[in-house]
Amino acid sequence: MKLLKFINIKAILLLASVCILLLSFLKDTEYVKSSPLAKLFVTRSNSQETPEITETQKIVSEESIVIDIVERSLPSVVTIGISKKTQTQGSIEIDPNNPFSPFRRVEGEEKTIEQNIGSGFIISKDGIIITNKHVVFDTKASYTVLTDGKEEYDVTKIYRDPLNDLAILKIEATDLVPLALGDSSKLKLGQLAIAIGTPLGEFQNTITTGIVSGLGRGITAGSPFQGFVEELSNVIQTDAAISPGNSGGPLLNSSGQVVGVNTAIAGDGQNIGFAIPVNVVKELISTFESQGGTFERPYIGVRYNMVDKRTAMLNEVVEGAFIETVIKDSPADLAGVKEEDIITRVDGKKLDGENEQSLAKIILNKKVGDTMDLDVWRDGKVLQITITLEAFSE
């Protein structure tokens, strides 16, 4: 290309005019096509069009992948609705005809509130659905499932995982279309991510696309409805737009397989969403099936936040699990664990907020009835406390 800069413009115009004149006198079409001069012009013309064609084909190919995945997946994605009876606030009335009459109290009315609050996806033909636990946390409410085909089902059973923000729902249905579950351990940074759900509870079957932005993230997620936070480790980060109402919906890869459950967003950032890896879901399903359709998960009865090395140095404390709340009459309470304690070791293993050696992970590998030996830092002293794990009950 640099040689073109040294060619005289007049010479180029003269050469072009000669070529055009010569070609106009050639009557043999085959000869024109096979002549070196004709080939020069054809080759240069094609070389200019090829990049545009290639780029168009690439765009069409990427769009086709997403469109195909969406068309295959939508019948398997559901919207979850809540129905709950509430009492409206009472009021005080005055007789307009007699302002001196005593006040009369009017009791509030009982109303039923119905609202779409989250998303989920089907994993079996006979009505097993996965969603987030925080979507169906209210044990006094009833829930419904709305499919892509606008069929509504009552949720007959809910199994909430006490250690993960996941729940299994059961509806009475047959011949549903389940989604295929992928392998989140094989995810790569930068690969395609597709999120499907019902953002804000009203825009059903919303599709957003992005990439896998991060792996192995550790976050603390909270729900204003529940009033407490949960520690989530090893989650997937994506820039596919996720909004309230997307919770529980699937995060899909380029094969249309579920690789995560959309769970949380960063409130102080844009396009920073998080999903629980699907391998955690598969472990949950395996436990659920092995225990005959129920959950028996061990728990100690605390809510905590991990203290990493930096936080420990700034606050002049030690690394470990900082106890925010101790549930009354729980195993931790009965063993003597108190709020503001910091658990530094479990069975001799150091708890590390940076390497995700978290308390929840250790408990997850225990069974009901097992014991845990804790090193607890309290007021500058280290105490030894033994806890016997009990089964979690709602």
Which residues are designated catalytic?
134, 165, 247
Helix axis angle, 36-73 relative to 9-25, nearest 10°?
Answer: 90
Burial (CB count within 10 angstroms: exposed 0-12, middle 13-18, buried 19+), residue 369: exposed
With CA atoms as reference, report the closest residue to 84 among 225, 292, 246. 225
d(Cα 93, Cα 106) in Å, to the nearest integer?
Answer: 7
Which helix (H) or strand (E) covers residue 171, if one does? strand 167-171
Per the listing, tokens 């030894």 go with 384
d(Cα 219, Cα 142) in Å, to the nearest integer?
Answer: 30
CB 299 within 8 A of CB 331: yes
Going from the C-alpha of 40 to that of each of 3, 43, 60, 179, the distances in angstroms are: 17, 5, 31, 54
**Six-digit token pair at 245?**
């109402």
